[in-house]
Amino acid sequence: MKSNSNTQKIVPFLWFDNRAEEAVELYTSIFPNSRIDFLNRWPKGGPFPENTVQTAGFSLDGTDFFAFDAGPQFKFNTSISFFAVCEAPGELDALWNELEREGEVLMPLDRYPWSPRYGWVNDRFGLSWQLMLGKLSDVGQRVSPCFMFSGDRRGQAEEALRMQISLFEDSSLAGISRYEAGSGGPEGLVNHAQYSLGGRTFMAMDNGMEFEAPFNEAVSLYLNCKDQAEVDYYWDRLTSDGGEESQCGWLKDRYGISWQVIPEFLSDKISNGDPTRLGRMMEKLWGMKKLDLGQLKAAYES
C-alpha cells in the first residue's frame, strides 16, 4: 500500500496518567535536536481532568511521538521499550543519569558482549529505555521502538516482524541474531532483530527470561493513512487472523500490539485545526470503531 505523504508513517503513541506534559518536557530537554510540536489540553467537562494533555506531538532527534493523558487504566512495561544509540560516552552517561533518576534500573550501565556500554532502565514515568554506545549509522536513527515478546507470545517475534514488513512499503529486514545454547535464552528464538517499516527502524526480541510483560495500550502505534482506502487496507489486515477491533480507530493485531489507524486529515486537525470544529469532529469519532473519513470531515466542516 503506497503513501505519497512525507509524514512519519508509524508514530509511537504514549498513554500517561496526568504526567504527559512533564514527560514530554523531560524527553525533549535531554535528547539532542528535539522539540515539542504542539500540545492540546482537555477542556472543562471533558472525559479527563481539565488542562491535562489531550494530545501532544513531539520529536526526539528526528523520531516523532504522540502522547496524551487518559487515566490510570494502562501502565508502561518492558514489552515495548525505546532503544537509544549514543556515539559518545559522555552523551550516553548524561542521558542515562536523567532517565535513571527516580526510575528503576533493569540492567546496569556497563560493558556487555554486544556493546562496550549498555543499560536498560524504566524511567520515573515507567517508560522503558535501552541505551547503547554505538554508531548511529548502524541503526539509522537515534531512538527506535523495540518489541519484546514474552509469556504466551514468546517465540512470535520473527513471525510478527515479518507480518509487519509485509504490510508497509519501504520495509525490509536488516538482520536477526538468535539465542544460542547456553546463552541465557531459548535456543533458536530471536535475541535481537532490526528491521525497517516505512523507512523507519524498529527492533524486536523474544524474552530471554520467564517473566511476562504483556503488550497493552500504554504504548500504541499511530498509523497515518492518507485516505479512506489506506484506513480500510490497514484496518482489515491488522484485525485479520485473531486481531481485535476497539473504539476510535484503535485495534489490536493478532500478537496483541495496539495500533491506531488514523486518516491524516484527523492528524492535521488535531495539531492545527480550529478547536471548536475539532471538538465536533472528536464527538463524532467517539462513536466509531474503524474511522470513517467522510463522516469526520463532515463533522469538522459543519
What does the pLDDT look like over 217-235, one tens digit per residue? 999 999 999 999 999 999 9
Among 48-52, 103-107, 275-279, the range scoring the smallest mean pLDDT is: 275-279
Kindly give the pairing relationship between strand 104-112 and strand 250-252: unpaired
User: What is d(CA 184, CA 179) in angstroms, rounded to the nearest whole number?
Assistant: 7
- Asked if pLDDT for residue 187 goes beyond 60, the answer is yes
Q: What is the pTM of this model?
A: 0.94
> Predicted confidence band at 45 (pLDDT cuts at 50, 70, 90)?
confident
* pLDDT tens digits, one per residue of 137-166: 999 999 999 999 999 999 999 999 999 999
User: Cell numbers of 33, please?
Assistant: 535536536
> Residues 286-294: what's their mean pLDDT?
94
Please say whether the dihedral angle defined by the alpha carbons of residues 292, 74, 13 and 114, taken in this order, is positive or negative.
negative
Average of per-residue pLDDT values in the chain: 94
- Asked if pLDDT for residue 2 goes beyond 60, the answer is no
User: What is d(CA 193, CA 299) in angstroms, rounded to the nearest whole number?
Assistant: 43
* pLDDT tens digits, one per residue of 114-133: 899 999 999 999 999 999 99
Asked if 174 contacts 194 with a C-beta cutoff of 8 angstroms, the reply is yes
Instruction: List, in sequence order, every residue forming a beta bridge with 190; answer none if it has no partner.
Output: 178
Per DSSP, the three-state class of 102 is: coil
Asked if 272 contacts 58 with a C-beta cutoff of 8 angstroms, the reply is no
User: What is d(CA 185, CA 160) in angstroms, rounded to the nearest whole number?
Assistant: 19
> Predicted confidence band at 294 (pLDDT cuts at 50, 70, 90)?
very high
User: What is d(CA 73, CA 111) in angstroms, rounded to the nearest whole number?
Assistant: 37
- Asked if pLDDT for residue 173 goes beyond 70, the answer is yes
**Predicted pLDDT of residue 6:** 60
Asked if 59 contacts 37 with a C-beta cutoff of 8 angstroms, the reply is yes
- Amino acid in the structure at residue 171: S
Domains of the chain: 80-206 (3.30.720.110), 226-302 (3.10.180.10)
> Residues 176-202: what's their mean pLDDT?
92
